[in-house]
Each structure stands twice: as C-alpha cells, then as structure tokens.
Amino acid sequence: MKSKLLIAVILFVNSLFYCQKISKIEFHHSNPIIVSNSIDITVEAIKQSKKDKIKIRVKKGRENEYFLQISKKKIIKIYNACQKIEYDTVALKENLIDGSSTNITLYDNLNNKKDYYAAGLSKKSKDDNFQKDFWYATSLIIKTAGLKMKDLIDYR
C-alpha cells in the first residue's frame, strides 16, 4: 500500500514538473547616467494562434515601441539559453564607473521567477567563462527583437 502511495506521489510531482511552461521573458538594459535610453523587451504569449506565433513588445528609449511576432521555437531557444546561465550575477572584471546593466527575468506558469543580472556587458563577454552564457542569451534576445548588440548602451 505504501509503495502505491509513493508511486502516486512521484507521478504527481513529476507531472507538475513537466507541466511547467514558459510564461514570460523580460529583458531590460540601461545605464543610470544616460536618462531615457533603455531597451525593454517583453516576450509573452498574448494570444495563441494556429501558426504557433508569439507576440513580443520591444521598447527602445521612451518613444520607440513596436511589436513583432516570432515563432515558439525561438522562444524555447532563448529560454534554454537562459537556463544554461551558470551565474545569476556577472560583472565586468575591469573597473567600470556607472556602466550599463542588463537584466533577464524568466517567468513560468507556476508563478516561479528567475532573475539574471549583468553589469558592463561587452564584446569581451562572449569569450569570458563567467559571462559567455549571459552574453549568448542576451544576443539571442536582441536579435529576436530585430536589434543589434551595438544598440546596447556602452557595448564595445
């Protein structure tokens, strides 16, 4: 009897784990010195369509805001890249006064939230062991939003 109950509990917990789905991805990049020059990208399934497309909102600065539709495969690729980020917080190893900051926040349908933060992201981050996973996830998000890495503030 105990073994049946144990198996039932394991199956229930296992099904909850696999029912976990991506709910939303938020990306924010800014520099405290440069006012009103930030990049905000929100990826959220607003309406399920037959084509399996997801709408994203891209806001660059105060005025420039637009929407795109992207495939669910791209979102899964971004989400998987974020899951590979080993460190929640990464920073540039050089002294950087008032440098840029980048946040990636993942949400799932079970109300779980995971934050990642980087300070001073640069071209060198691509090859740095501590920053390369964050850099890769950021580059996927930026490219999906129709932007370029050079659009990031202080990206050199």
DSSP calls for 5-41: HHHHHHHHHHHHHHT--EEEEEEEEE-SSSTT--EEE
89 domain residue, yes or no: yes
70: which residues sit within 8 A by CB, 6+ positions away? 43, 53, 54, 56, 144
Asked whether residue 9 is domain-assigned, the answer is no
The CATH number that applies at residue 136 is 3.30.1560
How far apart (Å, rounded) are the C-alpha atoms in residues 133 and 33?
Answer: 26
* CA–CA gap between residue 58 and residue 150 (Å, rounded): 16
Q: Which domain holds residue 100?
A: 21-151
Residue 91: inside a domain: yes
* pTM of the predicted structure, to 2 decimals: 0.78
Split at pLDDT 50, 70, 90, the class of 120 is confident
| pLDDT at residue 102 greater than cutoff 60 | yes
For residue 50, pLDDT over 70 is answered with no
> What's the chain's average pLDDT?
76
Asked if residue 7 lies in contact with residue 130, where contact means CB atoms within 8 angstroms, the answer is: no
Residue 140: band (very low, low, confident or very high) from pLDDT cuts 50, 70, 90: very high
Indicate whether 5 pLDDT > 70: no
Assess contact for 122 and 92: CB atoms under 8 A. Answer: yes
- C-alpha 49/C-alpha 14 separation (Å) is 28
Phi, psi of 14 (to 5 degrees): -60, -40
Q: How far apart are the first and last CA of the chain?
A: 64
Q: How many domains does one find in the chain?
A: 1
